[in-house]
Structure 1
Amino acid sequence: MAFTRATGKHRRPSRMSRTTANVAGVATLTTTGVIGTLASPALAAEDTSLEDTGLTKTISIGDAVAGEIDAQATAQQIAAQESAAKEHAEAEAKQRAAEQKRQAEADAKKEREARERAAREAERKRLNTFVSPIAGSHVSTSYGAGGAVWSSGTHTGIDFHAETGTVVQSVGYGTVVEAGWGGAYGNNVVIKMHDGTYTQYAHLLSVAVQAGQAVTTGQQIGISGATGNVTGSHLHFEARATADYGSDLDPLAYLRGHGVNL
């Protein structure tokens, strides 16, 4: 008697039944060759999965390399920017240094020119500084005074009061053109002044300079006396336009015009 069991609507096949059925199905599929057909796509799918895995690895590696390249490019760009900035800063520094040098040279030139102007002005003042031929004296006989005592009929200079032995000084800067006996003038000194005019100092007791000698303002050139055509000790002073007699200028106006207060 065969063992049977009732099957209901809601009763599932036993595990053994399912296994048997599956085995039988597989056998059937194998026999009919269907499993081969089904297997090919499965294997293909598996291969595709492998290929996909390899491609993913390749892409990952490529991304890493690309990242490195990008990083290098960025670093190079930054380095180039830094280099350009450095070059720009150096160029600006050189430009500033050049400008400072030009400014320093300009300032030095201005300072040098100012010193030269000051020196010229000082020299001009020095050369144009005049004094009275006898310090602290006064005019005893004026220019142009008439009388038989003068050969020309008039006084061609001015007389300064001076006791014998009083120091006589050059009224300004110049060069001695005559020093010694001068006839009616007695012992005298004639000086060509730096401006081209001439001054004469007459009736000296003695002379302290010689022809060709340069003299400065206030330098002693002799001492007063009463040599030559005189009536007493004094200093006869003349100012001339040239070295020649007869080119006389008003000595008082000459000295005052050079800043001497008389």
Structure 2
Amino acid sequence: MAFTRATGKHRRPSRMHRTSARAAGVAALATTGVVGTLAAPALAAETSAEQTGLTPVIKIGDSVAEQIDAQADAQREAAQLAAYKKAAEEAARKKAAAEAEEAREKAREAKERAAREAERKRLNSFVAPISGSYVSTGYLAGGGVWSSGSHTGVDFHAASGTTVHAVGSGTVVEAGWGGSYGNQIVIKMHDGTYTQYGHLSSIAVSVGQQVTPGQQIGLSGATGNVTGPHLHFEARTTAEYGSDIDPVTYLRSHGVNV
């Protein structure tokens, strides 16, 4: 047998049609627990069982069905909001982590730049050959004690065994006995000049070795042609004797207070 119904614009769906739709809705919502949240009396009042052939169908009043629909919509909206919130929180976490890593990387780069700059400045700096000392005999001082007739360097007051420092960065070109200079060291500086350290009691570097400002290269003494322990210091334009320049002016031009 076939059933037909009017399809006019303002006709409500037949009871059989609404019942089928509501039954399908209830079946779908039963697994979510929505129906269970309704008050039992209200549900009982507006529902009844009907045997239609082989399949039992539940008839639900319009108000109860609307409540079920509203609850289902609310649950879907809540689930969507929760998903949106979780996604937003995860995006914010990833953004914060990326920004923190970027900040750490910038800090590392800044620290490395500062370290490189500090090292560059240190390698280009100069120090006095004897810490806390003073010049006891000046440059070009006259006297028969010097074979040239005048002093080719300056003498720094120092007891035997006092630490002698390289005044700047350079390469050792001589390290050993130097005749009237006794035990001596000659260093080619990074700026192309040379410095000499004489009358040492011991030598702590070797030819070809790289040295840095303030590095210990030996100990002061009284070897060679001397009248007592001290450090003879020269500044030269070459490694050879006779190319000397004023050591005090040389050190001061490199920022050393002597």
TM-score relative to the length of structure 1: 0.59
- Structure 2 matches for 1:87-166, cutoff 5 A? 87-124=83-120, 126-127=122-123, 130-145=126-141, 155-162=151-158, 165-166=160-161
Change (3 A) 1:103 1:191: same
Residue 223 (structure 1) aligned with residue 220 (structure 2): yes
Which residue of 2 is the match for residue 170 of structure 1? 165
Residue 190 (structure 1) aligned with residue 186 (structure 2): yes
Structure with bigger helix share is 1
Distance 1:167 1:233 in 2: 10
Distance 1:159 1:100 in 2: 63
Change (3 A) 1:166 1:135: farther
Which residue of 1 is the match for residue 17 of structure 2? 62
Which residue identity lines up with residue 227 of structure 1 in the other structure?
G
Compute the displacement of 1:75 (Å): 6.2
Distance 2:254 2:208 in 1: 24
Residue identity over aligned pairs, in percent, reads 52
Compute the displacement of 1:210 (Å): 2.6
- Structure 2 matches for 1:42-61, cutoff 5 A? 59-61=14-16
Larger radius of gyration: 1
Change (3 A) 1:168 1:190: farther
Which blocks of at least 5 consecutive residues in structure 2 are unaligned? 1-12, 26-64
Deviation by residue 1:37-95 (Cα, 9 ceiling, x = unmatched):
xxxxxxxxxxxxxxxxxxxxx93343344456576766665555445434432332232
Which residue identity lines up with residue 251 of structure 2 in the other structure?
L
- Aligned to 1:260, the other structure's residue is in SS state coil
| Count of residues in Structure 1 that have an aligned counterpart in Structure 2 | 203
2:165–2:216 Cα contact (<8 Å) kept: yes
TM-score relative to the length of structure 2: 0.59
Which residue identity lines up with residue 164 of structure 2 in the other structure?
Q
Which residue of 2 is the match for residue 33 of structure 1? none
Change (3 A) 1:113 1:196: farther
Distance 1:256 1:148 in 2: 29
Which blocks of at least 5 consecutive residues in structure 1 are unaligned? 1-57
Compute the displacement of 1:119 (Å): 2.3
Which residue of 2 is the match for residue 203 of structure 1? 199
Which residue identity lines up with residue 162 of structure 2 in the other structure?
V
Two-structure CA RMSD over aligned residues (Å): 3.7
Which residue identity lines up with residue 18 of structure 2 in the other structure?
D
Compute the displacement of 1:96 (Å): 1.1
Residue 85 (structure 1) aligned with residue 81 (structure 2): yes
Distance 1:76 1:246 in 2: 103
